[in-house]
C-alpha cells in the first residue's frame, strides 16, 4: 500500500499530543527545585525516595490495591456464574438481565458514589470501607460480565455436553472443561476490572475517612493543596507499574486484551 505522508504526519502529531504530557511528568520528577517546573534545574532522585517513604502515598496505594483485588475477586465470583448462565441456557428475559448486569456503566461515577454515600453511610451507618467496597464492586462487575460473557460465547458447549455424556459431573465439568477454556477472558476481565477500580476517582471521592483513602483521592488531595515533585515522582512509579503490567499482558494474552 502507498503511504500517505500527510496522514502519517497527522498521526505523528496526534501521538505527540498523547505522549508529550506524560513525558513532561517524567522529566519534572527529576528536578531539584521544590516546585514542579519544566524545564528542570539540576538532577536529583530525592523525590523518588520521598515518594517511596511517604506514609500517605504508600498506605493509600496498599489500600487501593487491596480494595481493587477484593472488589475484582468478588465480581468474578458473582459475575462468572452469571455470565455462564446467560451464555449457556435459555434464560427468560436474557437481554434484559444482561442489560441489568451492565447497567452500572450508565450511572455516572459521581452519581453512584453519592447515592451509596447517602444511603449506606449517612442513612444506614454502614462503615465507609464497606460502602466503598460495594461501589467498586459495581464499577467492575460489568467488565466481568462483558468480557467473560464474550469469551463464553466463543466456547463450544458441545465439549461440555460430551463430558456430561461420558459421565462427568456437572460441577466437575465446569471446572475441568469450561473454566480452562475461558481463562484468557477471565484474566483480561480481572486485569481491566482491577485497573479500573484502582484508578477510580468519582466513586471513591464520596467515601473517604480515617484509614479509608484510596490512592487517586490521596493524589487528588495533594494536587489541590499545593504540591512538590513528589507527585510526579509517584506518578512515574505508577507508570512503570503500568508498563510492567502491559509487558506481561503482551507476552501472555496479547495487548488487545486491554482495549476491550
For residue 243, the minimal CB distance to another protein (Å) is 7
Cis amide prior to 129 (ω within 30 degrees): no
For residue 192, the minimal CB distance to another protein (Å) is 9
For residue 82, the minimal CB distance to another protein (Å) is 4
Decide if 120 contacts 131 (C-beta within 8 A): yes
For residue 176, the minimal CB distance to another protein (Å) is 18
Decide if 31 contacts 45 (C-beta within 8 A): no
For residue 87, the minimal CB distance to another protein (Å) is 11
Nearest to 70 by CA among 245, 204, 193: 193
- Pick between residue 44 and residue 91 the one whose CB is nearest to another protein: 91
- Pick between residue 45 and residue 246 the one whose CB is nearest to another protein: 246
Categorise residue 254: left if φ over 0, alpha if ψ from -120 to 50, beta otherwise.
left
- Pick between residue 25 and residue 212 the one whose CB is nearest to another protein: 25
For residue 53, the minimal CB distance to another protein (Å) is 20
- Pick between residue 48 and residue 101 the one whose CB is nearest to another protein: 101
Distances (CA, A) of 159 to 134, 138, 166, 178, 219: 36, 32, 11, 8, 49
- Pick between residue 166 and residue 171 the one whose CB is nearest to another protein: 171
Amino acid at each position: 500500500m502507498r503511504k500517505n505522508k500527510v496522514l502519517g504526519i497527522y498521526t505523528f502529531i496526534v501521538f505527540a499530543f498523547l505522549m508529550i504530557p506524560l513525558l513532561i511528568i517524567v522529566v519534572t520528577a527529576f528536578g531539584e527545585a521544590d516546585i514542579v517546573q519544566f524545564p528542570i534545574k539540576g538532577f536529583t532522585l530525592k523525590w523518588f525516595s520521598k515518594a517511596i517513604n511517604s506514609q500517605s502515598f504508600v498506605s493509600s496505594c496498599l489500600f487501593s490495591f487491596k480494595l481493587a483485588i477484593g472488589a475484582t475477586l468478588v465480581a468474578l465470583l458473582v459475575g462468572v456464574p452469571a455470565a455462564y448462565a446467560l451464555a449457556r441456557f435459555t434464560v427468560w428475559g436474557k437481554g434484559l438481565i444482561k442489560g441489568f448486569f451492565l447497567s452500572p456503566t450508565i450511572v455516572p461515577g459521581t452519581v453512584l458514589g453519592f447515592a451509596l454515600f447517602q444511603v449506606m453511610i449517612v442513612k444506614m451507618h454502614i462503615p465507609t470501607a464497606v460502602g466503598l467496597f460495594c461501589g467498586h464492586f459495581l464499577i467492575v462487575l460489568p467488565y466481568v460480565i462483558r468480557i467473560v460473557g464474550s469469551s463464553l460465547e466463543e466456547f463450544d458447549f458441545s465439549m461440555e455436553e460430551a463430558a456430561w455424556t461420558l459421565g462427568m459431573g456437572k460441577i466437575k465439568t465446569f471446572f475441568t472443561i469450561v473454566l480452562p477454556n475461558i481463562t484468557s477472558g477471565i484474566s483480561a476481565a480481572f486485569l481491566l476490572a482491577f485497573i479500573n477500580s484502582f484508578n477510580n476517582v468519582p466513586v471513591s471521592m464520596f467515601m473517604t475517612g480515617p484509614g479509608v483513602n484510596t490512592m487517586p483521592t490521596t493524589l487528588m488531595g495533594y494536587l489541590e493543596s499545593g504540591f512538590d515533585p513528589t507527585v510526579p515522582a509517584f506518578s512515574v512509579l505508577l507508570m512503570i507499574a503500568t508498563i510492567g503490567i502491559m509487558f506481561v499482558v503482551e507476552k501472555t494474552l496479547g495487548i488487545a486484551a486491554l482495549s476491550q
